[in-house]
């Protein structure tokens, strides 16, 4: 009965092959400029084969994005360990978040801008990776309030506000690379530090 298993393994392998080809092309050339035929070419299969593994192009995009979020989550998890200084932790996480976005701009836009546009009504549903990232953010804010480093702000609202700020600077830096920004790090610091400062007791 090992046949079935081997077949399943091969299928899974090909699925991953499609995914990684799609990812690379999406990231390097942009979702719009990548055709199903181009993806198929890259892995030396016929274009229509992809439809045996993914419903359509949007579904392919969706799967790529899920991977991206897992990546981001891992990056943040690494910072989670140290519980001694939650404020410092929050700052580091914010920087890591923005830097992740700048390191994988296409992934970031894909996940947080393009996908919601193509797949209406996805709201970081229960148990999703996005929800995990967000609840992790809440936990850190909560800890800052508990330690009275922050004043008694509403935890959820504050977490959302912080997310807004880092999301905004990430997207602006990605989308307007030619704008005469202040030095990139200086701007990121300004956004994060100003928010943190505004929350302190």
Partner DNA sequence: TGATATAATTAACATCGTTAAGTTACATTA
Partner DNA sequence: TAATGTAACTTAACGATGTTAATTATATCA
Q: By CB under 8 A, is residue 177 in contact with its own copies? A: yes
Q: By CB under 7 A, is residue 29 in contact with DNA? A: no
* Cα 138 from chain centroid (whole Å): 17
**Closer to its own copies at the Cβ: 78 or 201?**
201
**Distance between CA atoms of residues 98 and 108, nearest Å:** 10
Q: x/- binding map, residues 15-34, to its own copies, per CB under 8 A?
A: ---------------x-x--
Question: For its own copies, which stretch binds (CB under 8 A), given 42-50, 68-76, 80-88, 167-175?
Answer: 167-175
Q: By CB under 7 A, is residue 14 in contact with DNA? A: yes
Residues sharing a CB contact under 8 Å with residue 49, sequence separation 6 or more, in sequence order: 40
Partner from its own copies, DNA, none binding residue 116, C-beta < 5-8 Å depending on class: its own copies
**Distance in Å, CB of 125 to its own copies, minimum:** 8
Partner from DNA, its own copies, none binding residue 136, C-beta < 5-8 Å depending on class: none
Partner from DNA, its own copies, none binding residue 91, C-beta < 5-8 Å depending on class: none
**Closer to its own copies at the Cβ: 74 or 193?**
193
Q: By CB under 7 A, is residue 34 in contact with DNA? A: yes
**Distance between CA atoms of residues 165 and 98, nearest Å:** 10
Q: Nearest 10 degrees: CA dihedral of 164, 165, 167, 173?
A: 150
The helix (run of H) or strand (run of E) holding residue 174 is helix 155-175
**Distance between CA atoms of residues 129 and 68, nearest Å:** 10
Q: By CB under 7 A, is residue 49 in contact with DNA? A: yes
DSSP assignments along 109-170, one per residue: HIIIIIHHHHSTT----TT-HHHHHHHHHHHHHHHHHHTTSB-S--HHHHHHHHHHHHHHHH
Q: By CB under 8 A, is residue 87 in contact with its own copies? A: no
Q: Under the rule (CB under 7 A), what is the footprint of DNA?
A: 3-4, 6-7, 10-11, 14, 34-38, 45-49, 51-52, 56-58
């Amino acid at each position: 009965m090992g046949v079935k298993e081997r077949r399943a393994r091969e299928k899974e392998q090909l699925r991953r092959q499609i995914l990684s080809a799609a990812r690379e092309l999406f990231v390097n050339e942009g979702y719009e400029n990548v055709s199903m035929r181009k993806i198929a070419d890259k892995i030396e299969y016929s274009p229509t084969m992809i439809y045996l593994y993914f419903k359509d192009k949007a579904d392919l995009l969706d799967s790529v994005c899920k991977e991206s979020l897992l990546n981001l989550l891992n990056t943040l998890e690494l910072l989670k360990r140290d519980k001694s200084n939650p404020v410092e932790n929050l700052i580091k996480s914010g920087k890591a978040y923005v830097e992740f976005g700048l390191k994988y701009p296409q992934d970031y836009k894909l996940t947080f801008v393009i996908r919601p546009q193509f797949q209406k009504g996805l709201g970081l549903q229960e148990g999703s990776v996005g929800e995990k990232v967000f609840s992790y953010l809440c936990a850190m804010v909560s800890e800052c309030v508990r330690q009275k480093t922050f004043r008694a702000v509403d935890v959820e609202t504050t977490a959302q506000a912080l997310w807004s700020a880092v999301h905004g600077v990430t997207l602006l830096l990605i989308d307007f690379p030619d704008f005469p920004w202040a030095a990139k790090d200086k701007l990121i610091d300004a956004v994060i530090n100003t928010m943190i400062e505004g929350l302190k007791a």
